[in-house]
Chain A
Amino acid sequence: MRHIISLLMENESGALSRVAGLFSARGYNIESLTVAPTEDKTLSRMTIVTSGSDEVIEQIIKQLNKLIDVVKVLDLNDGRYLERELMLVKVKATGAWREEMKRMSDIFRGRIIDVADDTYTIELTGSGSKLDAFLEALDKAALLETVRTGASGIGRGDRILKV
């Protein structure tokens, strides 16, 4: 099953490679991994999307906790959570596509953030599956380039991950 794991770690050089290295060394899947400093500059927050059986996920959580730089780990799937990902999509905007792409962007609540003679760049946020759905719906012939940030996750309500 797909799991979203959130963790806080010391904002130190090498911390990211320890986490990434753990996943490759132990053969765990990584679908995506995002990391950035938090409001507390000494901490970074990472969101990892992974998949595996319950036993594998349990081991992943334990192994992450074992890393000395990792301060806290939360499996978001243990409760209610929100997931958002940002995607930028460059599409052809010539001929009939110019209207069509604008319409598609509106349907998915995207924003066109760059307009050129032959292309649009659309910004879209949502869960991973919403972004997938957008790409599915798009005329493949018009698709020029995509870039995704990977998912960020946060617990709902009073589920808070903080030191």
Chain B
Amino acid sequence: MELTGAEIVIRCLQEENVKFVFGYPGGAVLNIYDEIFKQDLFKHILVRHEQAAVHAADAYARATGQVGVALVTSGPGATNAVTGIATAYMDSIPLVVISGQVPTAAIGQDAFQECDMVGITRHCVKHNFLVKDVKDLACTLKKAFYIASSGRPGPVVVDIPKDVTALSTKFEYPKSVQLRSYNPVIKGHPGQIKKALKLLLEAKRPIIYAGGGVVLGNASDLLTRLVQKLGYPMTNTLMGLGGYPATDRLCLGMLGMHGTLEANMAMHEADVILAVGARFDDRVIGNPAHFFQNPRKIIHIDVDPSSISKRVKVDVPIVGDVKHVLAEMLALLDEMDKGPNAAALKVWWQKIDAWREKKCLNYKRDEKIIKPQYVIEKLWEVTQGDAFVTSDVGQHQMWAAQYYKFDKPRRWINSGGLGTMGVGLPYAMGVQLAYPKAQVACVTGEGSIQMNIQELSTCKQYHLPIKVILLNNRYLGMVRQWQEFFYGNRYSESYMDSLPDFVKLAEAYGHVGMRIERSSDVEGALKEAFAMKDRLVFMDFVTDQTENVFPMVPGGKGLSEMILAEDL
């Protein structure tokens, strides 16, 4: 039997076990939407802006590990999706984004709602396809899912002209795909793994530095076993939070620009670094020249060879799936009779504990004014550390990362690489749809939330009981902080004027709104909100306006050159 292109799209999504498609209709995808109408194997979530469709699909992927799927129309639908795609790309999130295209005969004619989606997204996708022949459609979609989810994951765009969705062909979904040009390495090189272990065991001041690759590669359990077996200190990147239990003693917290004193100092002074699924990003190691001042050996495990020796020269590169490599390391370690250098490790821990003693995350508590850090601490308590926390971008994001102690992977959902304001609410939608019963908190700022606030309507339609935790400082806080530190207090355009009444706004969308103005009300309000299990509660916390995020490694400085709260 022959199927139309539109029917084939639906069948392929079903073959891939897709549960949700986040999308927005338009001319070029009407044939596909007509087929969506006729089926009920997956649910279509109608967002209010295509950017949010991609973010929600992205969050679904981050929370579940499954490929997220978004569907948008040609032209403006496609361009609206680009920020979402770029965001997913920077954080290596597996996505398939299907975009409509004008009919093949009209391509290149500046047709109505035409844009060169393949050209526009070339630099922010793992790969993209324009399907010109309906006979290639099923195979292309199979490839798209395979490429998106294998190796270092990433978004794949499939651009489908309208006539291709109308034409018919025989449908056969390939069981598997082979691409001669794409064979991600899975197993690490055994010789390299041995070398790495030897180096690790000889270390006097070791540190294990784990990134988002651990979470994406489902390697948290193995990492945890390795760290605990060695008894070495470990630190997480912003993307790696939850990859190792934050409440464990061996975890020094997050490192980098707003990392803890103990994590940054330990990273700086370590003699052997084991990097697992992390990429020595500029927000993590600060000024590379400063980082190189200390001689040290670096072992780097990553699926993507191009991540290795990109920013820092690595001594023992191991290309492979982190899960396989860590399993291999643990097996070898079990066989060895030699263990870590206990005497050296003791001295090293004493040093680390002294840094820890400084309690760099302490902040001035206040009886009246709400400190943003306090809200996050209470959020952690009220949700028993078991919520999914999505965040936008800014100070609130850093406070959430610092003060919510993530013990499990895939609980912390934020835009690390691109730093996209506006992801928070759509991220919470993707997570809440994946886990309808879970507690989902969206930590946001009054700048960020207004970038996708229209999605409150989507939340109403699908009954998503998200808790929006707005840390409202009436400033684009992170911008203001930089202006305070580096631009002589010239607060150029960083004040958020004419803010809406968020309580009324939430109510207008059919949700519950709360304004919390006193420190003493924070805990009670959070409890009340989380008790409303079937309602979205928008919590407008009026916070200390000029609070800053500490510690801070100023741009261009070295990891050990942090500004601490107590310095000011």
Asked if residues B123 and A68 are in contact (CB atoms below 8 Å), the reply is no
With a cutoff of 8 Å between Cβ atoms, the chain A residues found around residue B179 in the complex are 68
> Measured between alpha carbons, how far is A14 from B121 in the docked complex, in Å?
12
For chain B, the count of residues having a C-beta within 8 Å of the partner chain is 18
**B417 → chain A closest CB, angstroms:** 15
With a cutoff of 8 Å between Cβ atoms, the chain A residues found around residue B182 in the complex are 68
Asked if residues B123 and A63 are in contact (CB atoms below 8 Å), the reply is no
- Of the residues B130, B180, B305, B309, contact of A14 by C-beta under 8 Å: B130
- Complex interface residues of chain A between 17 and 74 (CB less than 8 A to chain B): 17-18, 21, 25, 55, 58-59, 62-63, 65-66, 68-71
With a cutoff of 8 Å between Cβ atoms, the chain A residues found around residue B181 in the complex are 9-10, 68-71
- Is B207 engaged at the interface, CB distance under 8 Å to the other chain? no
- Of the residues A9, A62, A69, A71, contact of B306 by C-beta under 8 Å: A62
> Measured between alpha carbons, how far is A13 from B118 in the docked complex, in Å?
11
Asked if residues A68 and B310 are in contact (CB atoms below 8 Å), the reply is no
- Is A141 engaged at the interface, CB distance under 8 Å to the other chain? no
- Is A163 engaged at the interface, CB distance under 8 Å to the other chain? yes
> Measured between alpha carbons, how far is A58 from B308 in the docked complex, in Å?
10
With a cutoff of 8 Å between Cβ atoms, the chain B residues found around residue A25 in the complex are 123
- Is B62 engaged at the interface, CB distance under 8 Å to the other chain? no
Q: Write the chain A residue with the least CB distance to B122.
A: A21
With a cutoff of 8 Å between Cβ atoms, the chain A residues found around residue B191 in the complex are none
- Complex interface residues of chain A between 77 and 127 (CB less than 8 A to chain B): none
Asked if residues A68 and B126 are in contact (CB atoms below 8 Å), the reply is yes
Residue interface bits B291-315, CB-to-A below 8 A is 1, else 0? 0000000000000111001100100
> Measured between alpha carbons, how far is A10 from B127 in the docked complex, in Å?
13
Asked if residues A21 and B306 are in contact (CB atoms below 8 Å), the reply is no
- Complex interface residues of chain B between 176 and 194 (CB less than 8 A to chain A): 179-182
- Is B261 engaged at the interface, CB distance under 8 Å to the other chain? no
Asked if residues A14 and B306 are in contact (CB atoms below 8 Å), the reply is no
- Of the residues A13, A21, A55, A163, contact of B123 by C-beta under 8 Å: A21
Residue interface bits B201-229, CB-to-A below 8 A is 1, else 0? 00000000000000000000000000000
A-B contact count (CB 8 A): 35
Asked if residues A58 and B119 are in contact (CB atoms below 8 Å), the reply is no
Q: Write the chain B residue with the least CB distance to A10.
A: B181
Q: Write the chain B residue with the least CB distance to A58.
A: B309
> Measured between alpha carbons, how far is A55 from B312 in the docked complex, in Å?
10
Asked if residues A66 and B306 are in contact (CB atoms below 8 Å), the reply is yes
Asked if residues B118 and A14 are in contact (CB atoms below 8 Å), the reply is yes
Known: A71-B180, A71-B181. A59 touches B306 (CB 8 A): yes
Asked if residues A163 and B180 are in contact (CB atoms below 8 Å), the reply is yes
- Is B274 engaged at the interface, CB distance under 8 Å to the other chain? no
Asked if residues A65 and B122 are in contact (CB atoms below 8 Å), the reply is no
Q: Write the chain A residue with the least CB distance to B179.
A: A68
Q: Write the chain B residue with the least CB distance to A62.
A: B306
> Measured between alpha carbons, how far is A13 from B182 in the docked complex, in Å?
18
> Measured between alpha carbons, how far is A55 from B304 in the docked complex, in Å?
16
Q: Write the chain A residue with the least CB distance to B119.
A: A17
> Measured between alpha carbons, how far is A17 from B128 in the docked complex, in Å?
12
- Complex interface residues of chain B between 115 and 146 (CB less than 8 A to chain A): 118-119, 122-123, 126-127, 130
**A59 → chain B closest CB, angstroms:** 6
Asked if residues B127 and A17 are in contact (CB atoms below 8 Å), the reply is no
Of B127, B147, B180, B309, most buried by chain A (CB within 10 Å of CB) is B180
**A12 → chain B closest CB, angstroms:** 9
> Measured between alpha carbons, how far is A17 from B310 in the docked complex, in Å?
23
- Of the residues B147, B305, B306, contact of A68 by C-beta under 8 Å: B147
**B180 → chain A closest CB, angstroms:** 6
Q: Write the chain B residue with the least CB distance to A42.
A: B180
Known: A58-B309, A62-B305. A68 touches B127 (CB 8 A): yes
**B304 → chain A closest CB, angstroms:** 7
**A98 → chain B closest CB, angstroms:** 48
> Measured between alpha carbons, how far is A58 from B126 in the docked complex, in Å?
20
With a cutoff of 8 Å between Cβ atoms, the chain B residues found around residue A65 in the complex are 305-306
Of A13, A59, A62, A71, most buried by chain B (CB within 10 Å of CB) is A62
**B466 → chain A closest CB, angstroms:** 36
With a cutoff of 8 Å between Cβ atoms, the chain B residues found around residue A10 in the complex are 181
**A161 → chain B closest CB, angstroms:** 14
> Measured between alpha carbons, how far is A62 from B319 in the docked complex, in Å?
12
> Measured between alpha carbons, how far is A13 from B179 in the docked complex, in Å?
17
> Measured between alpha carbons, how far is A50 from B130 in the docked complex, in Å?
30
With a cutoff of 8 Å between Cβ atoms, the chain A residues found around residue B310 in the complex are 59
Asked if residues A17 and B122 are in contact (CB atoms below 8 Å), the reply is yes
With a cutoff of 8 Å between Cβ atoms, the chain A residues found around residue B313 in the complex are 55
Q: Write the chain B residue with the least CB distance to A55.
A: B309
With a cutoff of 8 Å between Cβ atoms, the chain A residues found around residue B147 in the complex are 68
> Measured between alpha carbons, how far is A18 from B119 in the docked complex, in Å?
9
With a cutoff of 8 Å between Cβ atoms, the chain A residues found around residue B306 in the complex are 59, 62-63, 65-66
Q: Write the chain A residue with the least CB distance to B306.
A: A62
**B122 → chain A closest CB, angstroms:** 6
Of B123, B130, B304, B313, most buried by chain A (CB within 10 Å of CB) is B123
> Measured between alpha carbons, how far is A46 from B304 in the docked complex, in Å?
23
- Kindly list the 6 A-B residue pairs having the minimum CB-CB distance in the complex, ordered from nearest: A62-B306, A71-B181, A68-B127, A62-B305, A68-B182, A25-B123
Which residues of B approach A to under 8 Å, CB–CB? Answer: 118-119, 122-123, 126-127, 130, 147, 179-182, 304-306, 309-310, 313
Q: What are 5 A-to-B residue pairs whose CB atoms are below 8 Å?
A: A17-B119, A62-B306, A66-B305, A68-B181, A71-B181
Given contacts A9-B181, A18-B122, A68-B182, 12 further A-B contacts (CB under 8 A): A10-B181, A17-B122, A21-B122, A25-B123, A55-B309, A59-B310, A65-B306, A68-B126, A68-B127, A68-B179, A69-B181, A70-B181
